[in-house]
Amino acid sequence: MIYDISQPLGVRTAVWPGDQSVELGWTMQRRQGDAVNVAALRLSVHAGTHVDGPLHFRDAGATAGAMPLDAFIGAAIVIDARGRESLDADLLDSVDLATTPRVLFRTRETVDPDVFPEAVAALTTSLVERLGEGKARLLGTDAPSVDPVDSKTLDAHRALARAGIAILENVVLTHVPPGRYTLIALPLRLVEADSSPVRAVLMTERLG
C-alpha cells in the first residue's frame, strides 16, 4: 500500500507569513488555439511538503540539488506525538534507529493546507541529540517547521544539520497508522535554491 503524505499544492495553499504565495498561470492553452496546455508555476520552495536544505539557514550550506538522495529513500517510522507541546527524546524510547533511521512525527489532529498553524510542536535539544547518537538520517514533521514559529535562531535546524540529519516538513500523517514504512521524498535537483518541494509517500512494502 502507498500513502501519499504530501500536502495538496495549489493557489490556496498557506505559506509562511510573508513568503511567496502559490501562483499558477498558463503560457499556452488549447481553448485559445494552442496545440497544448502549458502551466507556469511561481511558488516558494517551502510551500507545501518540502525538504529544508542547509543553504536555508547557512550561507555556505548545500543547495537542494546537492543534498545526498539516500537520506530521502528508505526505512522510516511514523510516531504519534499528538498532544505534545514539544517533541522530546522519550518519544524515541521504543525506536530502533539502526533499522528505521528516518523518523516522522504526527503532531496535529488534522492538517489543513489552506491554514497556517499558530503554533507547532518543536524539537527539543534532547531529541536531536538522541537522533544524532542513533545516526538518524531524516526527521519529518507535519508542522511547517522543526523550530518554534517565532524562532529567529533556528536551533533545531542547525543541530539537525550538524548531525547530518535531513529535514522534511509539512507532511500529512492524519491517515497513516503509526509504524514502519519505506519513505520516498526526493527533492528536486534545484542547483541554486535553498530547499525544495517534494512528493512524499510512505510504502508498507519494502523496496526490492
Q: What is the dihedral of CA 90, 93, 98, 104, to 10 degrees?
A: -50
CA angle 147, 152, 156 (to 5 degrees): 30
Residue 165, burial from CB neighbour count under 10 angstroms (0-12, 13-18, 19+): buried
For residue 140, what are the contacts with CB-CB under 8 A and spacing of at least 6?
A: 76, 102, 103, 104, 105, 167, 168, 169, 171, 183, 185, 200
The question of whether 56 is a catalytic residue gets the answer yes
Q: How far apart are CA 194 and CA 121, in angstroms?
A: 23
Cell of 11: 493557489
Candidate list 50, 56, 157, 175, residue with the active-site label:
56
Active site residues: 56
